[in-house]
């Protein structure tokens, strides 16, 4: 848009008005009257023109000639990316949180000409997004143990922040992927796209926990002492998984990333054990079916959060190894015979099983342990 100076139209309207008013009072078809109003309107026009002068008006810029690559599909992708970037800049200007705005400002379009730099800037922004997602989960879990409207609003605000990160990062990385990238950069961009999706889903599950907390508050649902103690053990393990995942991604630490999968396996075992214990309480009448629905929702969301953490950690390891067969990697890791990675996985798994025990047990229930699935 451009601003230009133009003469005011007011003098023209006033001069025309002079003719209209005079015509209502005197017969213009008589020459003396016609000449008189012509002179008067001319004088009025020059006086008003001197008084009003010029005014500034905004006019649209002339259309720019679109550049083309010769590939219609690529041209459309670039055009859509440009439109999305412009919209994100507009949204960024409206963000009140200075920290989020500063993080998003890292993703400048000029970096796209230098893929390695653009990827690094994206990683830094994803780090900030991951911390917001982790904080959202912690706050949502706290809400389950002590409901407040302020805490409820905080979780909603954190979810909105994570969504803004995902929108901006997704648009930026898609546009980067349309550039000519080498194999390593292309794999990195694809992995980052999946990673931001996983962190966003973690935040979504925090919102699900928020809804469960609201239901528990409204219906005055309180779990038994045994169920509360079991959930606290599980919640500690889930938060451990999430912290290790975000730390490993932020530091680029493959050793730390390797600790996520055995801990995620322990979470799966804990979930199965809690479900089995809940069924036992139902049979003795110490717990109700209604409470079971809420418990099932909590367990599902805890398990899904860890699944997404596993996705992030495994992707980080596979990018470093230039291998992208996730199913084969996990199968070899858990059930491989006498490999260094498999033995290390088993040692860590045993250690984490001992760390996360229910108060009334010394070992993980045998029926809770995962069976091989070759």
Which of 272, 145, 307, 141 has the alpha carbon at shortest distance from 209?
Answer: 141
Is 83's pLDDT higher than 80? no
Which of 97, 95, 121 has the alpha carbon at shortest distance from 108?
Answer: 121
Phi-psi region of 173 (alpha: psi -120 to 50; beta: other; left: phi over 0): alpha
Is 88's pLDDT higher than 70? no
Phi and psi angles of residue 334, each rounded to the nearest 5 degrees, phi first: -85, -35
Cα–Cα separations (whole angstroms), residue 232 to 77, 295, 302: 47, 13, 12
Instruction: Indicate the burial class of 41 (C-beta count within 10 angstroms; 0-12, 13-18, 19 or more).
Output: middle
In the chain, the largest separation of any two C-alpha atoms, in whole Å, equals 117
Task: Tell me if the pTM is above 0.95.
Answer: no
Residue 372 binned pLDDT confidence (cut-offs 50, 70, 90): very low
**pLDDT for position 108:** 77
**pLDDT for position 370:** 46
Cα separation of 347 and 343, whole Å?
A: 6
**pLDDT for position 127:** 94
Both tokens assigned to 108: 């400048």
Are residues 217 and 147 in contact, defined by beta-carbon separation less than 8 angstroms? yes
Mean pLDDT of 203-209: 96
| pLDDT per residue as tens digits for the range 108-121 | 778 888 888 999 99
Is 207's pLDDT higher than 70? yes
């Amino acid at each position: 848009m451009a601003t230009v100076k133009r003469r005011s139209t007011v003098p023209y309207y006033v001069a025309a008005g002079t003719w209209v008013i005079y015509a209502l009072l005197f017969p213009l078809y008589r020459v003396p009257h016609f000449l008189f109003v012509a002179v008067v309107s001319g004088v009025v026009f020059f006086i008003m023109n001197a008084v009003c002068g010029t005014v500034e008006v905004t006019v649209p810029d002339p259309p720019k000639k679109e550049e083309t690559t010769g590939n219609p599909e690529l041209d459309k992708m670039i055009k859509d990316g440009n439109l999305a970037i412009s919209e994100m800049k507009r949204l960024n200007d409206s963000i009140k949180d200075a920290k989020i705005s500063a993080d998003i400002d890292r993703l400048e379009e000029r970096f796209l000409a230098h893929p390695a730099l653009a990827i690094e800037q994206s990683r830094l922004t994803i780090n900030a997004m991951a911390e917001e997602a982790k904080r959202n989960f912690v706050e949502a879990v706290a809400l389950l143990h002590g409901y407040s409207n302020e805490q409820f609003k905080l979780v909603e605000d954190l979810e909105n922040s994570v969504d803004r990160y995902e929108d901006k990062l997704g648009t930026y990385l898609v546009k980067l992927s349309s550039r000519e990238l080498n194999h390593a950069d292309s794999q990195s961009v694809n992995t980052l796209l999946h990673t931001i999706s996983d962190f966003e889903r973690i935040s979504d599950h925090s919102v699900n926990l928020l809804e469960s907390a609201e239901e528990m508050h409204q219906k005055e649902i309180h779990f038994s002492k045994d169920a509360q103690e079991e959930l606290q053990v599980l919640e500690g393990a889930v938060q451990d998984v999430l912290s290790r995942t975000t730390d490993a991604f932020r530091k680029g630490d493959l050793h730390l990333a390797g600790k996520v999968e055995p801990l995620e396996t322990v979470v799966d075992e804990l979930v199965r054990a809690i479900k089995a214990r809940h069924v036992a309480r139902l049979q003795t009448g110490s717990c109700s079916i209604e409470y079971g629905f809420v418990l099932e929702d909590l367990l599902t969301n805890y398990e899904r959060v860890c699944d997404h953490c596993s996705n992030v950690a495994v992707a980080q390891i596979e990018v470093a190894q230039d291998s992208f067969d996730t199913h084969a990697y996990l199968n070899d890791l858990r059930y491989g015979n006498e490999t260094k990675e498999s033995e290390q996985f088993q040692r860590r798994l045993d250690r984490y099983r001992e760390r996360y025990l229910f108060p009334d047990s010394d070992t993980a229930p045998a029926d809770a342990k995962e069976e091989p699935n070759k």
